[in-house]
Amino acid sequence: MQLDGLRQPPNATTLMGVLIGVLRYHGAEASDAAAYGGSGHAFLVNVHEQLCPSGPYVWKHDWFQPLVRNLGVERTDLGFFGPEPVGDERATVEAALRAALDNGRPCALVNLENQLICGYDDARFLLAQPWDCTPDITPETLTFGTWSEFGSECHASFYTFDQCERADDRVIARDALRAAVELFRDPEKHSVRGYRHGAGAYDNWLAAIEEHGRSHGNWWNATVWAECREMAGAWFEELAGTVPGIAGPARELAAAYRDLSTVLTRVADKDLPPAKKLPLVAEAKALEDSAVATVEELLARLG
């Protein structure tokens, strides 16, 4: 069986590709930018102290869950599973996933990337592939019991998704912007050891870029966080036209986050020497600090 119409778009931020796929499956009219903005992910930046490419994936989701709920989606975490199965844990989670799919409820996993689980056959789950990639990173299937497609890289979490009541646009904006301020101003609150959010993420980046500025991790972090800031800019442009009383600061923020995305895209350039990336990361931190101050002003208008 396969859920009709469940597709994952090719976002670099694969968690957002999953969320957008679920929203579209349920017929939500929200734009991609509204999904990034309303979920708060547009404002996340999370960087490991050695610029590991895992930055976009290793963070606490406690702040994210209620914002996703505001968008009309209830995400249920079915747990984390390591390389060695314990008892019947794999059979149990597989049964829960099949039951959800049988009831028309989308599912997802994250191992190396976030992927929608679109259905199953007699032997395996059928997975969405967000972009052309080697099968050991985003496999097309997951074989029941063995999960052989993960090879030696099995550190997976599984999720189901249900529809719930969507919040009012003003509430979505207010809650997401509160999260944006907290994520930047309080780097330790939601960070995992070795990683930091917000201003602390940029501090980690600045400290690591001389040694790791040519790494895959630098490129991938910059690519993902640039995409998020581009979406933040687009969302503020939407808010300027849909939420009364905030058009001025919203348009200012639209320009600010697009500028920030441009700077981070330059940091992602694999051919640019680390010494030239260092001032760009410092500029990005300053731009984001200034933008968050304007977000705080906009929040005062939202009440």
CA nearest 57: which of 2, 12, 10?
12
CA–CA separation, 107 vs 159, rounded Å? Answer: 6
**Can you read off the two tokens belonging to residue 127?**
């997975």
Contact 130, 11 (CB under 8 A): yes
pLDDT at 135 over 80: no
Class of domain 14-163: alpha beta
Contact 124, 131 (CB under 8 A): no
3-state secondary structure of 117: strand
**HSE of 160, CA atoms in CB hemisphere, 13 A:** 18
The confidence score (pLDDT) of residue 99 equals 98
Tens of pLDDT, residue by residue over 244-295, are 889 999 999 999 999 999 999 999 999 999 999 999 999 999 999 999 999 9
Tens of pLDDT, residue by residue over 284-297, are 999 999 999 999 99
Mean of per-residue pLDDT scores for the chain = 96
CA–CA separation, 76 vs 95, rounded Å? Answer: 15
The confidence score (pLDDT) of residue 170 equals 93
Question: Is the pTM value of this prediction over 0.85?
Answer: yes
Q: 141-143 and 73-81: which strand pairing? A: unpaired
The confidence score (pLDDT) of residue 85 equals 83
The confidence score (pLDDT) of residue 187 equals 87
CA–CA separation, 55 vs 201, rounded Å? Answer: 9
Tens of pLDDT, residue by residue over 163-176, are 999 999 999 999 99
3-state secondary structure of 76: strand
The confidence score (pLDDT) of residue 149 equals 94
pLDDT at 129 over 80: yes
Q: Which residues of 33-59 are buried (b: 16+ CB within 10 A; e: fewer)?
A: bbbbbbbbbbbbbbbbbebbbbbbbeb
The confidence score (pLDDT) of residue 249 equals 95
pLDDT at 132 over 80: no
Tens of pLDDT, residue by residue over 29-62, are 889 999 999 999 999 999 999 999 999 999 999 9
Tens of pLDDT, residue by residue over 182-191, are 999 998 888 9
Domain assignments of the chain as residue spans, ordered by start: 14-163, 196-302
